[in-house]
Amino acid sequence: MILDREAARRLDEADPLAPCRASFLIPEGITYLDGNSLGPLTAAAARRIARVVDEEWGRGLIRSWSESGWIDLPRAVGAKIGRLIGARPEEVVVADSTSINLWKLLAAALALAGGRRVVLAAEDDFPTDLYMMEGLARLLGDRCALRRTADPVSALDSEVAVLALTHVHYKSGELRDLTAVTAAAHAAGALVLWDLAHSAGAVPIDLDAAGADFAVGCGYKFLNGGPGAPAFLFVAGRHLGAAESFLPGWMGHADPFAFERSYRPAPGIARFRCGTPPVLSLAALDAALDVLLAAPWADLREKAMALGDLFLDLVEARLRGHGFSPACPRDAARRGSQVSLHHPAGHAIVRALACRGVLGDFRAPDVLRFGLAPLYLRFVDVWDAVEGLRQVMDDRAWDRPEHRRRGVVT
């Protein structure tokens, strides 16, 4: 049990991942525990954006679509992400947002489901996922029924077309067993669509080994692609011939610059592209991924688990009597790269903590959330975060009027 800052510092000295922090531009005086919501800027992404703006856009102009390979970026960046999620290059493409990709793949999965019409989901899953499912169900009328339950895996039956789940829960940080759940869905004759928003880049994933059918995920969270970075989508190779896009934009056409009157799908994953890609964001994501891909993955997961255990140990030891309780699994093997705590004054506490340079976030109604990205976080950062919490509680800094107002973004 670590009870002083010096012991945390010694852990950092022995950490094989410590040099990776230098790749990130974390501002002085900030303890950044929100990389699960917006990954920080890497030096590589900053350099790359400057180059794309000045040289490729500034000087190359329209020629850069070909000469700088802009048109190929969605596939090239998808292939890199594939290495982080256990997918082959031809199974992943970067496009649109996670919300839109979810809609596209849900529609594709339903069309493949041989007359089954139930979409099965967890009732407390991330809202945009549920909203997208509701929208598609409204559009399809009798051909789709949404079933939301607390325990979707045990609700699998012969009516289920698609089981759609997040791999790591956004609030509790709970990590589902991707392999076991995929196998259970397949045993019931259903397809699976995974949302990897909170796991890609944080937890080792092997979609191909698990036999997963479809997946989506975010570019701006643990992949560090920058605010509003495009998302990715995965379609298992065995579905690529038959899976259809029902948002068939010209960039998913077999020959976009033939300007044909009717849509002809591109062969393979490219058909799930829709419109023109956001090149600046894609370039930033591309550069940020190189940092992640160069890291030793076994160490990454191990350190993330150790950071989480330290956080929860320190909360138990140093915040006793202040009204916190864990909102995440205590067992590190069942947790993604985040910890979360319940507290009735959670929102005000997160704001007061931010005034001390410790940035986490808040999820209604009462969850404080702290992302633990092992590439740039140190054990002393965890120490400082819990020490900040202790101070905010001890001097009741949270209980001030300015911390009570809720912003648009929490």
Active-site annotation, residues: 126, 195, 220-221, 369
133 contacts ligand PLP (rule: CB under 6 A)? no
170 contacts ligand PLP (rule: CB under 6 A)? yes
Report the 10 Å Cβ neighbour count for 51: 15
97 contacts ligand PLP (rule: CB under 6 A)? yes
Contact with ligand PLP (CB under 6 A) among 56, 91, 129, 361: 129
Q: Report the residue number, 205 or 389, with the smaller CB distance to ligand PLP.
A: 205
C-alpha closest to that of 358 among 22, 340, 349, 318: 349
128 contacts ligand PLP (rule: CB under 6 A)? yes
121 contacts ligand PLP (rule: CB under 6 A)? no
Euclidean distance between CA atoms 365 and 69, whole angstroms: 45
Degrees, nearest 5: CA angle 371-375-379: 70
Euclidean distance between CA atoms 242 and 302, whole angstroms: 39
Q: Report the residue number, 91 or 129, with the smaller CB distance to ligand PLP.
A: 129
Between the alpha carbon of residue 123 and those of residues 127, 136, 142, the distances in Å are 9, 16, 21
C-alpha closest to that of 33 among 408, 406, 374, 397: 374
Q: Residue 234 is encoded by which pair of tokens?
A: 């995965």
373 contacts ligand PLP (rule: CB under 6 A)? no
- Tell me, by CB under 6 A, how many residues bind ligand PLP: 13
DSSP string, 62-126: GGHHHHT-GGGHHHHHHHHHHHHHT--GGGEEE-S-HHHHHHHHHHHHHHHSTT--EEEEETTS-
Instruction: Looking at residues 173 to 232 of the shown chain, list those that interact with ligand PLP (rule: CB under 6 A).
Output: 195, 197-198, 218, 231
Contact with ligand PLP (CB under 6 A) among 31, 68, 98, 172: 98
CB-based contacts of 310, cutoff 8 Å, min separation 6: 2, 8, 379, 382, 383
166 contacts ligand PLP (rule: CB under 6 A)? yes
Contact with ligand PLP (CB under 6 A) among 18, 49, 99, 290: 99
The window from 125-133, 204-212, 261-269, 302-310 that contacts ligand PLP (CB under 6 A) reads 125-133
122 contacts ligand PLP (rule: CB under 6 A)? no
Q: How far is the CB of 332 from ligand PLP (least distance, A)?
A: 20
The window from 95-103, 300-308, 309-317, 359-367 that contacts ligand PLP (CB under 6 A) reads 95-103
369 contacts ligand PLP (rule: CB under 6 A)? no
Q: Phi first, then psi: what are they for 214, rounded to 5°?
A: -140, 155
Q: How far is the CB of 218 from ligand PLP (least distance, A)?
A: 5
172 contacts ligand PLP (rule: CB under 6 A)? no
Task: Give me the residues that bind ligand PLP (CB under 6 A), please.
Answer: 97-99, 126, 128-129, 166, 170, 195, 197-198, 218, 231
